[in-house]
Amino acid sequence: MGMLVEGKWHDVWYDTKSTGGHFERKASSFRNWVTADGSAGPSGEGGFKAESGRYHLYVSLACPWAHRTLIMRVLKGLENMISISVVNWLMREEGWTFAEGPGVVPDKVNGAERLYEIYVKADPNYTGRVTVPVLWDREKRTIVNNESSEIIRMMNSAFDHLGAKEGDYYPEDLRSEIDGLNAKIYDTVNNGVYKAGFATTQEAYEENVRPIFETLDLLEGRLQDNRYLTGSRLTEADIRLFTTLVRFDAVYVGHFKCNIRRIADYPNLGAYLRDLYQIPGIAETVNLQHIKRHYYESHRTINPTGIVPVGPILNFERPHGRAHLPSSMF
Ligand SMILES: N[C@@H](CCC(=O)N[C@@H](CS)C(=O)NCC(=O)O)C(=O)O
């Protein structure tokens, strides 16, 4: 665990001293967009035209942010257009690495052994955290973007004219509702679990753990009559919530102390989680070994022994019973 300072790797843990025990996530640094015609996107510069075989995605199967991009890649059928490398689950002194292990896919594009080498290739003076996901451009030999929320937006539409699968997960008429859900779910659920788990004072922990369950309670009600968060259509808001829910009972309840309730205790959220898991292609993006081993073995400030709990027993294949709720393709 560490960061780059002017292109040099330093092994440091998150600083929570200056923030009263609170974990504060830093903004991502590379913000260019792949677009259909290569014009600039909402941020950054142009020059990144959608082309089959041009882009490469670096992911961790453990990471909920990277997981979003893996799901979107499958839903949009981009597996043959965007290649991937998968880091080892363990993130210790050298940060993410490609050390051999089950499920690891080495870096055949840059031949890197550690993820920070990719950041230094893109910017020899880079200062900041070295995070997944990373979208790499083989042509310009640089990082296009390392912000998952933006990478999934690009995947949603930029490759459509090249034969991506049909489907719009950020449809025009639902955008303001999706934006509202995303903002609340990011703050109190996706990042909320990290704020609770990485807190280093009792106050900071309690302040952050309660809102997680307030939001989950709210979503439980919303999912009573709605198949998906916005109603009958699956959107990026569901994908973003899914990657936290699927890790919740296995990791966040124990390791991050988010234990007021489990997802298994929520009938609607639990069934919704199984419903999404059973969408063709999604189960293959979920690797509970990488997920559990990453958190419990990497965060030694929280779990000094590195022991990985054996349970809980989870079965996302069980019938979800939500097929009666209205659903429409797009
Ligand atoms: N905002 C980023 C966050 C990505 C992120 O924090 N990834 C974690 C893994 S779950 C990471 O790589 N952390 C390494 C570090 O903070 O040093 C995104 O959504 O893409």
The complex's ipTM works out to 0.99
Which ligand 1 atom sits closest to the C-alpha of 151? 20
Q: pLDDT value at position 28? A: 81
User: How many angstroms does the Cα of residue 27 sit away from the middle of ligand 1?
Assistant: 10
User: How many angstroms does the Cα of residue 51 sit away from the middle of ligand 1?
Assistant: 26
Pocket probe for ligand 1: among 132, 243, 255, the residue whose CB has the most ligand atoms within 8 Å is 132
SS3 83: strand
| 92 φ/ψ angles, rounded to the nearest 5 degrees | -120, -135
* Plot region of 292 (φ>0 → left; ψ -120 to 50 → alpha; else → beta): alpha
Q: What's this model's pTM, rounded to 2 decimal places?
A: 0.97
The verdict on whether 186 is a catalytic residue reads no
Taking each helix axis from N to C terminus, what angle separates 64-75 and 148-157, rounded to the nearest 10 degrees?
0
Kindly report, residue by residue over 92-118, the tens digit of the pLDDT: 999 999 999 999 999 999 999 999 999
Q: What is the mean pLDDT of residues 244-264?
A: 98
Which ligand 1 atom sits closest to the C-alpha of 147? 20
Q: What is the mean pLDDT of residues 17-28?
A: 86
Q: pLDDT value at position 6? A: 95
Q: Which of 55, 126, 194, 277 is catalytic?
A: 194
Q: Compute the distance between CA of residue 175 and CA of residue 180 in angstroms, rounded to an integer.
A: 8
Task: Return the closest-CA partner of residue 227 out of 167, 271, 262.
Answer: 271
Taking each helix axis from N to C terminus, what angle separates 267-277 and 236-247, rounded to the nearest 10 degrees?
110
Binding-site residues, ligand 1, Cβ < 6 A: 1, 28, 63, 65, 129-133, 146-149
Q: pLDDT value at position 74? A: 98
User: How many angstroms does the Cα of residue 25 sit away from the middle of ligand 1?
Assistant: 8
SS3 276: helix
The verdict on whether 258 is a catalytic residue reads no
User: How many angstroms does the Cα of residue 99 sit away from the middle of ligand 1?
Assistant: 19
Q: Compute the distance between CA of residue 234 and CA of residue 238 in angstroms, rounded to an integer.
A: 6
Which ligand 1 atom sits closest to the C-alpha of 148? 20
Domains of the chain by range and CATH? 3-162 (3.40.30.10), 172-279 (1.20.1050.10)
Kindly report, residue by residue over 281-293, the tens digit of the pLDDT: 999 999 999 999 9
Pocket probe for ligand 1: among 10, 61, 65, the residue whose CB has the most ligand atoms within 8 Å is 65
Name every residue whose Cβ is closer than 8 Å to that of residue 88 and which is 6 or more positions away in sequence.
96, 97, 98, 99, 100, 101, 104
Confidence of residue 68 (pLDDT cuts 50, 70, 90): very high
Number of H helices, E strands in the chain: 9, 7
Percentage of residues of the chain with pLDDT beyond 90:
94
**Cross-strand partners of 184:** none
Which ligand 1 atom sits closest to the C-alpha of 95? 17
Q: What is the mean pLDDT of residues 319-325?
A: 98
Task: Extract long-range pairs of 175-184: CB within 8 Å, 24+ residues apart.
Answer: 177/230, 178/230, 178/235, 178/236, 178/237, 181/229, 181/230, 181/237, 182/149, 182/236, 182/237, 182/240, 184/215
| 226 φ/ψ angles, rounded to the nearest 5 degrees | -110, 125
Q: What is the mean pLDDT of residues 35-59?
A: 98
User: How many angstroms does the Cα of residue 314 sit away from the middle of ligand 1?
Assistant: 26
| 31 φ/ψ angles, rounded to the nearest 5 degrees | -130, 30
Q: pLDDT value at position 3? A: 96
Q: pLDDT value at position 49? A: 98
Q: pLDDT value at position 14? A: 79
Give the residue, by CA position, lying nearest to ligand 1 atom 11: 131
Q: pLDDT value at position 330? A: 66
Contact 151, 42 (CB under 8 A): no
Contact 115, 88 (CB under 8 A): no
At 135, the amino acid letter reads L
Q: Which of 63, 169, 277, 295 is catalytic?
A: 63
Confidence of residue 64 (pLDDT cuts 50, 70, 90): very high
Comparison of pLDDT for 116 and 20, the residue scoring more:
116
pLDDT over 90 at 7, yes or no: yes
Confidence of residue 302 (pLDDT cuts 50, 70, 90): very high
Contact 35, 154 (CB under 8 A): yes
Contact 289, 297 (CB under 8 A): no
Q: pLDDT value at position 138? A: 98
The enclosing H or E element of 269 equals helix 267-277
Q: pLDDT value at position 26? A: 81
Mean pLDDT of the chain: 97
Confidence of residue 263 (pLDDT cuts 50, 70, 90): very high
User: How many angstroms does the Cα of residue 187 sit away from the middle of ligand 1?
Assistant: 15
